[in-house]
Chain A
């Protein structure tokens, strides 16, 4: 069963990687079509970007609209769904193999966090809240993250230490992993917003655009990226708050105090404060947009420190994971 879980995850990562290539091809082809459309409209020299498969797409005279989903895009979305099913299978079989919840160590936590991120992304795409063209940018970190989890952090199936013998592991860690996955996705969205924003500013100022800002061309409008990041954070923040509180209740029964500034507690507090700052910044004049997005990126950074740096390099009460 444990072996099956590992194989499923491996296949899921490969399928995700293929989906990522599909998304990349799709956005290149759509960009090419958009560029030719715009060129036809203003009758100018055409700058074809990455040279996707559809450079010589038919020129349409209609106003530049979002081109319909190409074969590559539909295929990529389908592959993501297949990868997602395999990923769910991997997590479930891991749980059966260990006879407990499948989030007892860093490897398992990372896998579930990535699953949450992909789930959030799929939900947003299927409900039309987020554009499919983000696929490549979302799947790339997911593939890298899962690759890292499956190699560096990999842990054999095993029982838990006594401190984890509590039903709170189901509640606290499930909430933490859900919020983490969503926060990681929002971090990617915030970075993409910054990229698109920079691209827009440069173009508006008539200045040249160099890599990686050129990537901004194939992204959805900045305002939509900003909203998507907000939607994801607005979902994840109460979940994170609940995870911290559930952790405090658990700590109270396991360690004799509900809060003790253990490094993990400290960093989840920092993460919480930064996301609270983001929500306030988004509502404050002079902080909307770029600055708020940087806060979201910093908060995601704190989350990564909270999870990886604290677990690997800092000695604390959470050091068993």
Chain B
């Protein structure tokens, strides 16, 4: 694979190395060799590149499980005939699909197969002196000729010195010079960096870890697998590699504009790298995660957690906790579930919505007009009976199994502003004490990140070199003049060719010749 616009180079350099070894073996291996040569050819590489782009297209249009499984399920429900076909083709998991992996792995094999011989060729080219001067400079794309009074030797040494920045060596009666080796070096650096980037990504995927957790204001979190709500460990991730760390969420604060758009999010935490270390404060924001060793803690999301107090019919406290509610819309109308198993009698449950800026429409439905907690309210429906939590079957704290529950008060919703209490017919009561907030955090460890970043630097650097460095060859020949040019003088011939970007070469050559004519001045015309 090459980015030089030269046809010759591209064709020659992208083929596999010259065949070596005994004839019989070569015959046996012929099909293998042919396949290999085909795979490492530029045409195949191009085809694979286009396949890679084409393969990514469904990933850019269809919902992807890795990003949003809920939207994938919605899509499947909406397209019952088409979706199963798409699903069988892994089109909802494009970037984890075997065919996608096949395309990029083949591309990288082709790339490596093409890189290895090119690196060898380039290493050889770097050691080899620039080629011998051709016989006739006039057949080169650019040439110049003049006579000088300087002797041959001096012309050659002076021109060599003038060609600063060139690789110039004396070969016979001429100086051979070449420049722009960095172009190919950059090209190779770019492609090698691509391979390294893939290695870095793979390292992260195998040995990395990602976990998310919801933390309420006033609560803490210690970095251990069991404490996460959701984890995505790499295939080879070992729990012992989790960075020891714990933090406490003291306060979460969000500010909004009048239009309800978020302005700032701040999670004020105190954290320590291990149990004995003193706690240090940090303000985790969207663009400033907390770094602890190899781990980073990100602020992902937030929501409200009203503090709810439930008294049983005897007046003793059966429940007193902050209840995280899940946001349902951009104005943070959030759904809440409260389970009260220990009432001394029938178990209780409440389901409802929390609205930070509460408005009620004509039909009595509550909504939120703004995401900030300007007039918070909790609208609840009560249930009594058996919660099903004693059966030992784990259930989500956000779901309510209503099979053995009876609605209280005919299932009518009750709206509670801050501090208000609803007394149930059986004498128990529920109080909306105050509003607190929660935030979700993601703890990430990616050991391949450093390599990926280094590779990215190599990619940009290599790309710039391979696109902007120009490869040129130049020869300066000096021979004693014949009768035409005046005996005793020296004829200087300069010839050059552009191996890349031929457009700009004429001007460059003229400038070079002008510089050479300054150090090797043309002889004054004879005064006769």
Contact = CB atoms under 8 A, between A and B. Distances in A.
Q: How large is the interface on A (under 10, 10 to 19, 20 to 34, 35 or more residues)?
A: 35 or more
Contacts of B300: 256
B88 to A, nearest CB: 20
Contacts of B262: 161-162
B1 to A, nearest CB: 6
Interface in A224-254: 227, 230, 234, 237-238, 241-242, 245, 248-250, 252-254
A177 to B, nearest CB: 18
Interface in B254-292: 257, 261-265, 285-289
A267 B60 CA distance: 6
A274 B463 CA distance: 15
A279 interface: yes
Nearest to B61: A314
- Residue among A250, A254, A266, A274 with the highest chain B CB neighbour number at 10 A: A266
B463 A280 contact: no
A302 B53 CA distance: 10
A245 to B, nearest CB: 4
Contacts of B261: 158-159, 161
B410 to A, nearest CB: 39
A217 interface: no
Contacts of B298: 254-256
- Residue among A165, A238, A249, A252 with the highest chain B CB neighbour number at 10 A: A238
Contacts of A252: 449
Contact of B5 (A165, A230, A237): A230
Given A253-B289, A280-B1, A284-B46, A261 B467 contact: no
Interface in B19-45: 42-43, 45
A257 interface: yes
Q: How large is the interface on B (under 10, 10 to 19, 20 to 34, 35 or more residues)?
A: 35 or more
Contact of A270 (B1, B60, B66): B60
B105 interface: no
Contacts of A145: none
B442 interface: yes
Interface in A154-177: 158-159, 161-163, 165-166, 168
B60 A284 contact: no
Given A161-B261, A280-B46, A237 B449 contact: no
Interface of A: 158-159, 161-163, 165-166, 168, 227, 230, 234, 237-238, 241-242, 245, 248-250, 252-263, 266-267, 269-270, 273-274, 276-277, 279-288, 295, 302, 305, 310, 314-316
Given A165-B286, A277-B49, 12 more contacts: A158-B261, A162-B264, A162-B287, A256-B210, A256-B442, A261-B95, A274-B50, A280-B1, A280-B42, A283-B3, A283-B4, A295-B50
27 contacts: A162-B287, A238-B460, A242-B460, A245-B456, A245-B460, A256-B210, A257-B444, A258-B449, A261-B66, A261-B67, A261-B95, A269-B56, A273-B53, A273-B56, A277-B46, A277-B49, A280-B1, A280-B2, A280-B42, A280-B45, A281-B46, A283-B9, A283-B42, A284-B43, A287-B43, A287-B46, A302-B53
Interface of B: 1-7, 9-11, 42-43, 45-46, 49-50, 52-53, 56-57, 59-61, 64, 66-68, 71, 94-95, 201, 210, 257, 261-265, 285-289, 296, 298, 300, 442, 444, 446, 449, 452-453, 456, 459-460, 463-464, 467-468, 503
